Structure 1
Amino acid sequence: MKNIVILISGGGSNMAAIVKTAQQEQWERRYGVRIAAVVSNKADAGGLVFAQEQGIATAVLDHKAYPSREAFDAALAAQLDEFAPVLVVLAGFMRILTPGFVAHYAGRLINIHPSLLPAFTGLHTHQRAIDAGCKFAGVTVHQVTAELDVGPILDQAVVPVLPGDTAETLAARVLTQEHIIYPRAVRALVQQLG
């Protein structure tokens, strides 16, 4: 059985979408792949409860308990490596990872970003798209590289920016697409693992 580990920091709605898709499509039986663990840097992350209810192993590593970003990332990698992941999925994991961590999981580390990359890397993507007068916004699943939000694009979905949109209304429409394309992108990678 090949293992996927998902990293979260909050409610974990993208993690839940991936888990539900894996269950509905029987990834274990069809592809020999399972969601083995959900790991968070915050003990109060709501997504941990969902994962536990699904019988998925969970772990918490509080980044504030470590003296440096490098020390946290080393401890995180040691935790993840216990599951020997073929894929590490960032699903609202609100930490910028060190180059060493990214290199350790090169080709196996993916993220979702709420813009049509390469546009609007970083934070506040929805407001920035509105402020720029964009007619379309969207979401991108990409491989993680040492440079923030610039790794190879795996999947994208386009969402119209409507007159009167706020960052919140646009974010809500983008999130519905996130829940579609993230499981789809993970499935595509899982199928390649064969």
Structure 2
Amino acid sequence: MTPQASGRRERKKAATRTALADAASRLFLERGYDGVTVAEVADEADMAVATLFAHFPAGKEALIFDDGIERRETLAAAITERPAGTSALDALEAYLARRGAFDESPSPEGQQRRDLIISTPALRAHARSLWMGCESILTELLAQESGRDPQDVSLRLLARYVLELPDLIGADHNSRKSLETAFDHLRRGWPDL
């Protein structure tokens, strides 16, 4: 296969994923997540249900979220590419403050998506599973930062605490203030990070 054909194939896959995700988003925002079937999403995107599952094998919840790769990459970059003099915990707090439930200036569509996710148990559970999928990489990065063994239970605890915050306090009335409070407590427990 030529590089050109491979590039075209990847562009077509990306366009199909985007069309399906956009159709799902429109329908979910109009009728609520539970009011829409996978078949209706496929129909709205003018595609077969089999095509939807080929591109989103994790099912209906995955239509709202990325596959987790971007999340893991940006989480890692928040630590590895942080400004000099910034602690790992400060970098993690700043990273979370720009995302989803903690973003103080979301676009109107971003606010609708956030409200949909927060109010839909299946979507909240899927979001939490995506965050938990970052636990190993975050623990490893914290180990590198602290010079400790990645099996150190305190580092695994810290990674888990950080990754639980979106689900734990993301729906709070003032989620940004709750985020600040949470990180104040984490800094007391892990002052070297």
Q: TM-score when scaled to structure 2?
A: 0.26
Q: TM-score when scaled to structure 1?
A: 0.26
Larger helix share, 1 or 2: 2
